[in-house]
Amino acid sequence: MSKKIIIIGGGIVGLSSAYFLSKEGHDVTVIDKSDITSGASFVNAGYITPSHIIPLASPGMIAKGIKMMFNSASPFYMKPRWDTEFFKWSWYFYKSSTKEKVAKAIPVIKDINVLSRELFGAIKASGDLGDFQLERKGLLMLYKTQEAYLHEKDVANKASFLGLEVRELDQKQLAKLEPEVAIDAKGAIHYECDAHSTPTQFMPKIVAYLKSAGVKIRTNEEVLDLEVKGNRIQEIKTSKANYTADEVILAAGSWSGQIAKKIKMDLPLQGGKGYSINVARPTGITIPAILMESKMAVTPMDGFTRFAGTMEFSGNNDFVRKERVMAIASGAKNFYPTVDINANEIASVKTGLRPVSLDGLPYIGRSSKWANLTFATGHAMMGWSLGPATGKLISEIIDERKVSMNIDAFSPDRRF
């Protein structure tokens, strides 16, 4: 039976949800406070990463954040500020960062990433969006030190045990794989299971397809309030109109927690800011890489190479810290000595906020408080990778069908 569905949020997760829900014949409206041309879904590294099996909330992360708190150029930065919501989230995050919880999360993260990789492929094969970059060249974890190698080797062993394709490369093998660019690294671990894409190409195409399929896209429209009656959301009030719906999907990224507060719900969530620089000149880089000691990502996209990175907790804003941008440029030079990022490219830096949950796992599932509310947010650094999988799971939840995988670990009600 067709349902009238409102999706709050027009990022990769919200649009993927609209894609699969519209395929099932539902009447779908997407509402976003922006014009859907910027933000995390546009400036991310474009990775589709089954290899990223370790959640952001892992042992020692909060300690690292506190240690780096007064160095605004550090890869993981928490701006000193008095913010009770941030304190509470930090406590939950700390409680989640145990070896036991990480061990439980690993197979779940792997499963949803593999599901999403296959769905990206299915979307391309369908022809709905026309042609778009989707390449499976894997991901290189480049390292300079023995410490970094041993850390990633442990992750690689876990990934291999789970059936993911991974191999080690020495300098000669690395040079053979990337012959057009000099790489200053001792070696790499190559996750052959990974893929990549160009977000700035994919996003306009999925918006265009959804419009052609009858999905209503409401841009530059902010959700101001949610009115409830009984145990249901009765009305969505925005800056332009009022809406009613059978089902409401909250997929508003880093702003999801603020919207949840309008219906007296506590959704532990913080915006983690990332930065990206595009270089439209030839770089010789053909395979995506993470520069381990620089803690940044490099992606050969369609028409340019993207250098991205950092995790900054400083509130939901788009303020650019120049020292963080310069850290990305110098980090790239450290591994690719022949690649220069010029002043104009640095000045064109973009930022985006990733929604980070209390444990680095997404919130996917129905609300226990409101019968017609479903959450699809909190994906941290894996939002792009997990977009299609989340959209598929959301459509299965709404239609009360068997979900493609066990989603208990993604419960919006989990706390520690």
Q: Give residue 64's pLDDT band: very low, low, confident or very high (50, 70, 90).
A: low
What digits encode the pLDDT tens for the residues 236-249?
Answer: 999 999 999 999 99
Strands (E), 91-219: 134-135, 139-143, 166-170, 187-191, 195-197, 216-218
Task: Indicate whether 252 belongs to any domain.
Answer: yes
Q: Which residue has the higher pLDDT, 64 or 79?
A: 79
For residue 68, the model assigns a pLDDT of 58
Most confident of 18-22, 55-59, 268-272: 18-22
- CATH number at 302 reads 3.50.50.60
* Whole-number pLDDT of residue 94: 84
pLDDT interval class at 77 (50, 70, 90): low
Mean per-residue pLDDT over the chain, rounded: 93
Residue 216 is assigned to a structural domain of this protein: yes
Is residue 58 scored above 70 in pLDDT? yes
69 has pLDDT over 60: no
Tens digit of each residue's pLDDT (9 = 90 or more) over 161-197: 999 999 999 999 999 999 999 999 999 999 999 999 9
Q: 415 lies in a domain?
A: no
Q: How confident is the model at residue 331 (pLDDT cuts 50, 70, 90)?
A: very high
Residues 373/365, Cβ–Cβ less than 8 Å: no
Lowest mean pLDDT among 13-22, 56-65, 139-148: 56-65
pLDDT (0 to 100) of residue 4:
98
103 membership: H or E segment, kind and range? helix 99-126
Domain assignment of residue 283, yes or no: yes
- Mapped to the 3 state alphabet, what secondary structure does 61-101 carry? HHHHHHHCCCCCCCCEEECCCCCHHHHHHHHHHHHHCCHHH
Number of structural domains, the chain? 1
Q: Is the pLDDT of residue 78 over 80?
A: no
CB 143 within 8 A of CB 334: no
Residue 374 falls within a domain, yes or no? yes
pLDDT at 80 (0 to 100): 67
Name the CA dihedral angle for 59, 61, 62, 66, rounded to a multiple of 10 degrees: 130
Residue 402, CB-side half-sphere exposure with 13 Å CA sphere = 2
**Is pLDDT above 80 for 62?**
no
pLDDT confidence tier of residue 97, bands split at 50, 70 and 90: confident
Mean pLDDT of 54-78: 66
Q: Is residue 416 one of the residues assigned to a domain? A: no
pLDDT at position 74 is: 64
The answer to whether residue 268 sits within a structural domain is yes
User: 367 pLDDT exceeds 70?
Assistant: yes
Quick count: other Cβ atoms within 10 Å of Cβ 147?
11
Give the residue numbers spanning the domain of 375.
4-410
Average pLDDT estimate for 344-366: 95
% residues pLDDT > 70 (the chain): 95
Tokens of 7: 């999706």
Task: With a cut of 80, say whether residue 67 has pLDDT above it.
Answer: no
Using a 10 angstrom Cβ sphere, with 0-12 exposed, 13-18 middle and 19 or more buried, the burial of residue 150 is exposed
Q: Whole-model pTM above 0.75?
A: yes
In a domain, 55, yes or no: yes
